[in-house]
Every structure is written in structure tokens, then in C-alpha cells.
Amino acid sequence: MTKQLAIGRISYINVDPIYYGFENGSLKDKYKIVSKHPAGLNKMLAEKKLEISAVSAAAYAQNQDRWLILPNLSVSCAADVMSVIFVFKVSVKNLEKAKVIISAESKTASDLIKLFFCSRGISPNFIIKKINSYKDINADEQAALIIGDAALAGGWDKHFKYTWDLGVLWNNITKLPFVFALWAVNKEFAKTEKETVLKLIKDFEASKKEGKKNIETIINNGAEKLNIPYLICKKYFEKLDFDLDDKKTAGLSMFFDKLYEYKIIDKKVNLNFFV
């Protein structure tokens, strides 16, 4: 390929270690980096405005016939993730028919919350709305899903009686890690540009390696960007994983199986990797 390849990047700080080499290191300017929230990237990859991108894990379920998963790349956690939280004013059983805000920015987190309520036979009135701070939540809205940088920067426990970390919620139920984001490639592109994809996979590994070496810089930059204490940002990056090993794959498969079981998605999901 002669033109610069564009790759999608989640606009939150959580992927800074993965993209460090692309944005600051030896691979700087080799690729065109397109930065958007997960839902925006899901749409661009589905519409072939991008050929390779980070995507919400749940978006893969919708596009499994058209996308392949890139190996050893994810945004995942073994337990608490800190940047995907559910806050609520009343007990869970009292959220039946209550107004519950979910995010349009991350399909994975929204589907996980829906799964939690379905498994307990509770049917809230889900409302899609963007939340940046607690002030965005109206008095008649009883609960909200908060994701990304807003979750880290918020101090939500000061304003809500209950605060749950969705990574902890999943791990308590399954004892498995949870995968929030994957990297995917359009099947047609993978077939016609196999060598390009193979080279990019190697470059992702190199970029991650540079990110690991420069994690202190990444933590400092993240803390400054979000105006949060260094130690909170450090703890956050220590909680995150960026590989896709067998345990994470098992957690991902269980998530998709449960979405199908509770009819949140209408088709069973197979994990198809680029090989």
C-alpha cells in the first residue's frame, strides 16, 4: 500500500500505553491515528471508513461475519477497572421501571449493565445520555453508567449512595477477566492486504513495548489531562491489561454467550481471529 494506513484509537487515556510508540516513539507518524470514543470507531469500521480499529467488544458480536480480531490486543481487567462504573441512588431492586442512564459511547459497558438487570429480572427504563459530571444527572434519574475519563475524574461516590465497578461486578459472578475493547480488521482488507496487517500487528507489539518502558510518562500525562492525583492514575494503569490471553478469551466468550442467552443479541458469537 502506498498511502498512509489509518487506524482507530479510543480517545480515552486507557489506550495510551498501546499507542505510545505510534504517537511518541519510534513509530511516530508511520500511521494515521483516528481518535474517537468507542461507538464512533465501531461505526467507522462497520462503514469501512477505517479498515483496522479498536472497537467495543460488544460491537464485534454485531459484526462477527465482517470482522476479524487482531491477536494479543485488548483493554481488559482482572477485577476492578475504575473507568467503568455504575452509580445509583436507590437499591437495585428499586430500579424496576426507574430511569437509568446508559452511554452511547461504549456498547460493551451498556450491554453488560443490561445483562446484569436481565439476569435478575429487573427492567429499568434505559435512557441514552452523555454524562460528564454528576451535574448532568437529573433528580428523576435514579442511576447512570459512567465510562472512560469521566469515571476516573468524577468523585462519584460523594454524590451517590451506591457505586459499582463493572469489572468487579463481572469478576464476582464469573471469576474471569472482562474484555471491554478489542482490535478488529475488516475481513476483505485482511484477505487482500495480509502482509500489511501482519506488519501492523508487529508494530502494535513494538508500540506497546515502548509504552511499558515509558509508563511513568504516560501516568503523569494522564493525571495532568484529567486533573486527578498521580497515585490514582498510577493505580488505574496497574489495573488494566492489554493482551488477550486464554483467560480473557474465555471471559469474552462467556460474555457473548450470556448476551445471547438473555436475548440481548440475536445470534451466537464465534471468536474469529486474524491468523
Sheet holding 162-165, edge to edge: 125-128, 99-102, 141-147, 84-88, 162-165
Say how far apart CA 68 and CA 201 lie, in whole Å: 13
Name the residue among 55, 27, 95, 64 with its Cα closest to residue 180.
Answer: 55
- Given this model, what pLDDT does residue 207 score? 98
Q: How confident is the model at residue 253 (pLDDT cuts 50, 70, 90)?
A: very high
Say how far apart CA 44 and CA 48 lie, in whole Å: 6
pLDDT of 5 strictly over 50:
yes
Say how far apart CA 74 and CA 81 lie, in whole Å: 13
Q: What is the DSSP string of 63-114?
A: STTTEEEEEEEEEEESS--SSEEEEESS-GGGGTT-EEEE-SS-HHHHHHHH
CB 186 within 8 A of CB 51: yes
Number of H helices, E strands in the chain: 11, 11
62-120 pLDDT, tens per residue?
999 999 999 999 999 999 999 999 999 999 999 999 999 998 888 899 999 999 999 99
The top-level CATH class assigned to 84-174 is alpha beta
| pLDDT cut 70: percent of the chain above it | 99
6-77+179-261 matches 84-174 in fold: yes
**Mean pLDDT, the chain, integer:** 94
168-213 pLDDT, tens per residue?
999 999 999 999 999 999 999 999 999 999 999 999 999 999 999 9
Q: How confident is the model at residue 1 (pLDDT cuts 50, 70, 90)?
A: very low
Q: What is the CATH number of domain 6-77+179-261?
A: 3.40.190.10
H-helix or E-strand spanning residue 146: strand 141-147
- Given this model, what pLDDT does residue 2 score? 55
C-alpha cell at 111: 450491554
pTM of the model: 0.93
Name the residue among 147, 157, 159, 140 with its Cα closest to residue 97.
Answer: 140
How far is CA 10 from its chain centroid? 8
Mean pLDDT of 17-39: 95
The domains of the chain are located at 6-77+179-261, 84-174
